[in-house]
Amino acid sequence: MENDNVIDIIKGKAAKGFRFIKFIVLLFIAMIILMIMNPFVMVGAGERGVVLNFGAVQPNVLNEGLHFRIPIMQKIIKIDVKVHKSQTDAESVSKDLQDTRSTIAVNYHIFPEKANWIFQNIGIQYKERIIDPAVQEVVKAITAKYTAVELITQREKVRSEIKDLLKQRLLTYNIVVDDFSIVNFSFSQQFTQAIESKQTAEQLALKAQRDLERIKIEAEQKVTQAKAEAEALRLQKENVTPQLIKLRQIEASLKAIEKWDGHMPKVTSGAVPFIDVKSFEKE
């Protein structure tokens, strides 16, 4: 009897151990199946998730974070909604039929809530399909309104018009233009040389005009100086009186006395200078 109880106990423990092992195996298999089916999806920063039910695009868009999906039935396509830069080369003709070449840089992003519409109607290659052709079309439309010279002198206005028109075009595809710039803008070699020649001629003409103005100013200065000198001479003549002449003679005689050493010159030309000292006393 006791042996039967021991056997029953051993069998019970064995059954529990077998059930535990079975549970571990089933759990391990479930984990493997779960990993294979991958029911969870992580939508990263700057992304949106487009939900597909057996390939059909759904109206709901998944935001950033961890989401559950139904395995086999659902598939999640991640769409980047961050700001991107597109650089496009465009060729066009100006109003006066001058060939122009430009490089256009556009910063853009798609509406996050419209990621499913873009995936369904355009696909993920929307830059090549929509943005590049739109840039070239808009550049041609705007440059055709201006002459080549106006494209140079009114570049900021041209840039603003291209940006506004491009915004309108891309907005219909749920693409937002954040910034726009003309990286490079060039013309044919013949036109460029003509512009350079014109600038050189204008600079030479400006230099000649400045030289002429300088010569006129210098001539006016000389005339003014001559008039001033003539006026000074006239005033001096008006101020010359007999008393002034006599004063200058006295000053000259006094200077001669200061320089005389008291000796008569040994060699003279005949006449001996005479200083009338008495004439000073009369004064």
What residue spans define the domains of the chain?
A: 2-47+65-80, 84-187, 207-259+275-283
pLDDT at residue 139, rounded to an integer:
93
Q: What is the Cα–Cα distance from 49 to 74, expressed in whole angstroms?
A: 12
| pLDDT lower than 50: segments of the chain | 271-272, 274, 277-278, 280-283
Determine the Cα–Cα distance for residues 93 and 139; give it in Å rounded to an integer. 10
Q: Contacts from 166-172 at CB under 8 Å and sequence distance 24+?
A: 166/106, 166/134, 166/135, 166/138, 169/134, 169/137, 169/138, 170/108, 170/130, 170/131, 170/134
**Tell me, what's the pLDDT at 4?**
57
pLDDT of 20 reads 72
> DSSP characters for 65-119?
EEEE--TTTEEEEEEE-S-EEEEEEEEEE-TT--EEEEEEEEEEEE-GGGHHHHH
CA distance 37 to 68: 11
pLDDT for the residue 63: 95
Model pLDDT, residue 280: 45
Q: What is the pTM of this model?
A: 0.57
SS3 content of the chain, % helix, strand, coil (to 5): 55, 25, 20
Shortest CA distance to 185 belongs to which of 152, 153, 157, 162? 152
Per-residue pLDDT at 187: 80
What backbone phi and psi angles, to 5 degrees, belong to 60?
-85, 140
Q: What is the mean pLDDT of the chain?
A: 80
CATH topology of domain 84-187: Tetrahydropterin Synthase; Chain A (3.30.479)
Task: Note the pLDDT of residue 282.
Answer: 46
